[in-house]
Structure 1
Amino acid sequence: MSAPERIPALSLPADGPDEALLARGGLTVRGRIPQASNAVLYCTVELDGREAACVYKPVAGERPLWDFPDGNLARREVAAYEVSRATGWGLVPPTVLRDGPHGEGMCQLWIEPVTGEDAEGGELLALVDPEDPGPGWKEIGLAEVGEGRTALLVHADDPRLRRLAVLDAVINNADRKGGHLLPGAEGRLYAIDHGVTFHTEDKLRTLLWGWAGEPLPEEAVEVLGRLAGALAEDGPLAARLRPLITAAELDATRARVAALLATGTHPRPGDTWPALPWPPV
C-alpha cells in the first residue's frame, strides 16, 4: 500500500494558549512525583491571570541511560508532542522546552485522568482467561499472575489506542507502558512519558502489539502521507524537530514513516530488542 496521491500539504497549527502559558508563565514547584525514575516535579504555571497544573522535568534530574545521549530526554518529549500535534490526533498533552527553577527542562500540561464510571470507552488493558479473550480485545501475551497461574494480557481494540500505536511506530517509542495512558474528559486519550524516543535503531517496545501485521487504517495512511511531506527538508515539521533531535534521528524518523507507507501495515516486533516493556504498567 502506498500513500494516496495528491495528499494536501500539512499546515502545522500555531502555538495556542496552552503552549504560551507553559512557555512564558511563572513556574512554581509544588512537589515531586516520587515513583518516576527521573526528576518529575508537579508545578503550577500562571500567566495573565490564567493558572494551570503542569509537569516540569528538568534536564538536571535526568538519569544517564546506556543507549541514549545524556541530557536530551526533555527535548525528545517535546519532539514527540510536535509529531503528535502534526498528526492532528492530540494524543500528547501540550509540551514545551523552557527554563525553570532547576534549569532547562520540558514542561507539560497536567492531565487529570478520568477513571471508573466516568471514563468513556471502558478499560484499556486487562488480564483475561487465556482460552477466551472475548470480543473487543487484542492479545499482547501471557503473563504470570502468581501461584503458577498465567493470564492473557490484552488491550482494547480501541481506535484511540490504534492511533497511538501508529504514533509510537513513527517516534520509535522504546517504553510504551500501561501507566502512560491517561483517559481524559469527553472520551479523549492522552499519552505521556516520551523521553526514550527517536533513536536511530529500531527500539519499539510497547504494549500495543495487538494490530501487528494488520493493514493500517485509511486514516493512518493519510496522516502518514502528510507527515512525510511535513518531514521533508523544507517541511514545517522538520523545522520544528531540528532543534530537538539530531539530523540522523530526523532522517530515521523520515525512514520509519516511509516504511509504514511502503508496507501499509502495523509493524511487527523485531528480534533484536525486547518487544514488551517491563514492568508493563
Structure 2
Amino acid sequence: MPAPERLPAPGVNTTGEREELLAKGELTVVGRISGASNAVLLCTVEYGSVRADCVYKPVKGERPLWDFPDGNLARREVAAYLVSEATGWGLVPPTVLRDGPYGEGMVQQWIAADGADGADGADGATGADGLLALVEGEEAGEGWKPVALADVGEGRTALLVHADDPRLRRLAVLDAVINNGDRKGGHLLAAPDGRLYGIDHGVTFHVEDKLRTLLWGWAGEPLTDEAREVLTGLERQLAAGGRLATRLAELITPAELSAVRARVSRLRRTGVHPEPSGQWPAIPWPPV
C-alpha cells in the first residue's frame, strides 16, 4: 500500500477538505510542544490517502483560569477560527473540535512558519518574519508603527514596533472582534507562501474588554474600507438565526455571543481601531 500523501501547504486544498481531515482523520501523538502553559501535543492526522501535521490541545490539559470560568479554551479556539473564516481573511489555521487520544480537544493544522528573520528598515527584528522589532530612539521609521517603549535592561529602553502591514492590520481587527487577551509575537506565524496566521486563541470572547496585544499601532486610526465591509458582513452573520451565530452558540455562552455582536456594532459605529481601555494591561506578558 502506498504511503499517504502529505497535505500540501494551506491554500492548495479547500478549507472543507482540511476541516474534514482534521475532524475525521486518525490522530497519532508524536510529542509534546514544550513551553506552553497548557498541554499542546504535536500529532499527525491521517484520513484516506492524506496525512498532515497538526496540533491537539485536549481540554483535560488546560489550566483553569479564574477569569474564564465558563466553557473551555478549546472551544474558544474553534470559535475564533469560525469568526476568522466568516471575515474571508483566513487568518487562523483550520481548527476543529473533536475527540482525541486524551478526550475532547481542539485540533488545528500545523503551520510551518517561515524561518526568515530581520527586515529592511528596522534593527533587532524579534520574530514573525521581521514583523515585530525593537528600535533605538522614539521614532518608528518608515513602514513601521510604534507600540510602546520597552525596558531592555541596564537602564536602556527601546521602541517596540510592528510593521505597517495589511495582514497585521486585518489581524488587529479580528482580535478586536474576538476580544483577544493574548496576542503575543510568538502567536504570529508567517508562512512560506506569504500568508500570515494567528494562533493560540483560547483567551478570547470574554464579556469584559480584555484586549491585550502587540498590534496597537493603528489605535484610534480609521478602519480601512475593507474592514468596514467585513464588519458589515459579520453583523449580518451574527444576527439571530445566522449561520455564524448558530455555530458560535454551540461554543461560547449567550452573554459572550451578545458581547461579540456589541463589539462588531461598536467598531462599525466608531469606524476606528480600538484604543487601550486602561482597565487591563494593554500588552500581554511576556510579549513574545
Structure 1 contact 119–184 (Cα < 8 Å) conserved: no
Task: Identify unmatched segments of 5+ residues in structure 1.
Answer: 1-13
Letter in 2 for 1:33: I
Distance apart, 1:185 and its partner CA? 2.4
Pair 151,221 (structure 1): closer, same or farther in 2 beyond 3 Å: same
Distance apart, 1:154 and its partner CA? 0.4
Could you say which structure has the greater relative contact order, defined with CA pairs below 8 angstroms and 6 or more residues apart? Answer: 1
Task: Tell me which residue corresponds to 2:109.
Answer: 109
SS of corresponding position for 2:193: helix
Deviations 1:39-86, CA, capped at 9 Å, x for gaps: 000000000010000000000000010100265100000000000000
Pair 73,18 (structure 1): closer, same or farther in 2 beyond 3 Å: same
Q: Number of matched residues? A: 268
Letter in 1 for 2:208: E
Letter in 2 for 1:159: P
Structure 2 contact 31–43 (Cα < 8 Å) conserved: yes
Task: Identify unmatched segments of 5+ residues in structure 2.
Answer: 1-13, 121-127
SS of corresponding position for 2:76: helix
Task: Tell me which residue corresponds to 1:90.
Answer: 90
Distance apart, 1:122 and its partner CA? 5.5
Deviations 1:157-186, CA, capped at 9 Å, x for gaps: 000000000000000000000000000122
Structure 2 contact 134–158 (Cα < 8 Å) conserved: yes
1:70 & 1:248 partners in 2: Cα distance?
10
Mapping for residues 2-151 of structure 1, pairs under 5 Å: 16-69=16-69, 72-116=72-116, 123-151=130-158
Pair 89,119 (structure 1): closer, same or farther in 2 beyond 3 Å: farther
What TM-score, normalized to structure 2? Answer: 0.90
Cα RMSD of the aligned pairs, angstroms, is 1.7
Please state if 1:250 is matched with 2:263: no
Pair 45,118 (structure 1): closer, same or farther in 2 beyond 3 Å: farther
2:216 & 2:56 partners in 1: Cα distance?
30
Deviations 1:198-219, CA, capped at 9 Å, x for gaps: 0000000000000000000000
Matched residues, percent identical?
71
1:92 & 1:16 partners in 2: Cα distance?
14
